[in-house]
Amino acid sequence: MTQKPLTHLSEDEKIFQEAVEAFARAEIGPRVMAMDEAQKLDQKIIDQCFQMGLMGIEVPEKFGGAESSFTSAILAIEALATVDPSVSVFVDVQNTLVNNAILRWGDEGLKEKYLPRMCAEWVGSYALSESGSGSDAFALATRAVDAGDHWELTGSKLWITNGAEANLYIVFATIDPDAGYRGITAFLVERDFEGFSVGKKEDKLGIRASSTVELLFDGCKVPKENVLGEVGKGYKVAIETLNEGRIGIGAQMIGLAKGALNAAMEYVADRKQFGKSVGTFQGMQFQIAQMATDLEAARLLVYNAARLKDAGAPFLKEAAMAKLYTSQVAERVASGSVELFGGVGFTKEYPAEKFYRDAKIGSIYEGTSNMQLQTIAKLLAK
């Protein structure tokens, strides 16, 4: 029997992705520019993401989830990004970072307490970055002190996606600054915990409807049972979760590129110059062919990494390659889309300029392109 390639999609997976994309076009599409201008997700869209089961794709049915695969989550993230990368990353963080971390590192008590809420109504956020710890992820200043029957967190976090909407945050803090990464511990912090507050919201270039905020901890009281994983082992939670998250960002980037390319192809088919459609000009056709080829290569990298993760096989190098390459392709395709639109591509009347703005973040968050290159180089040297 011939083995199917890791990039093959089953009929059920195709149907699922098409359904998510149809939802995105019908419900999110008419709200994209309004949400971008308001710098806020429409509550109706948030509610619909829960109603469609998109906020708990891998969570077992006993906790209210769809009990599907990591690949299914990736397909949904890609489909949403074809219309709005802001909604895509909202769903991405929920699934690939927050839910995945609780599923892997949470004990049964934490799973029973939080996963049903995450599937039904609670938004999750992942809080690692600080002003002094970006690529140097474990140079954390946020401190956790054992106060007997609870932990107390003091410090701040920056660049936190979903922070404005979230009800539950995975927060990384150090119990011993002198211990380096061995002092890092992960905590589950609820929005209404004493000593916790949401600070400044960033005014961003792209994915503007996706909230990016500062989090403040002033002796924030966290129950002892809300440690995620083991005390002092938070670095493992962070590293292994982000490895999976990179595939999610890759899915966001290929979805964005697909949306930008599709919009450009529709436009050049209708646009007339010199008495015929500009889409019939060889110069245009060659540009589109190159973009479509780059996109297909990027998609195969993402699907392959997702399949490897689902299979329990090593995927770190493949995830880093997928994130690196898809972010490059997304920028190239989004830029090319603006050019194919011509003058109107530089206006907000058409979607090209927004895809162009949204694409830039792909090479920055959840590990910069330089960090991906470093990871790939290290793994190739082994």
| Catalytically active residues, by annotation | 366
What is the distance between the alpha carbons of residues 84 and 79, in angstroms, rounded to a whole number?
Answer: 9
The interaxial angle of helices 282-310 and 316-341, nearest 10 deg, is 160
Do residues 68 and 192 touch, judged by C-beta distance below 8 A?
Answer: no
C-alpha–C-alpha distance, residues 169 and 13, integer Å: 30
Please tell me the number of Cα atoms within 13 Å of 59 on its side-chain side. Answer: 27
Residue position matching structure tokens 């969570």: 59
Residue type for 206, please?
A: G
Read off φ and ψ for residue 342, nearest 5 degrees.
70, -145
Cα 328 to Cα 26, 196, 334, 362: the distances in Å are 29, 37, 10, 8
Amino acid of residue 63: F
Contacts of 91 (CB under 8 A, 6+ apart): 49, 54, 55, 76, 77, 80
- 3 state SS of 58: coil
Distance, CA of 233 to CA of 184 (rounded, Å) = 6
Q: What is the distance, to the nearest Å, from the Cα of residue 202 to the centroid of all Cα atoms in its chain?
A: 17
Residue 108 CB contacts under 8 Å (≥ 6 apart), including other chains: none
Buried b (16+ CB within 10 A) or exposed e, 37-70: eebbbbeebbeebbebebbbbbbeeebbbbebbb
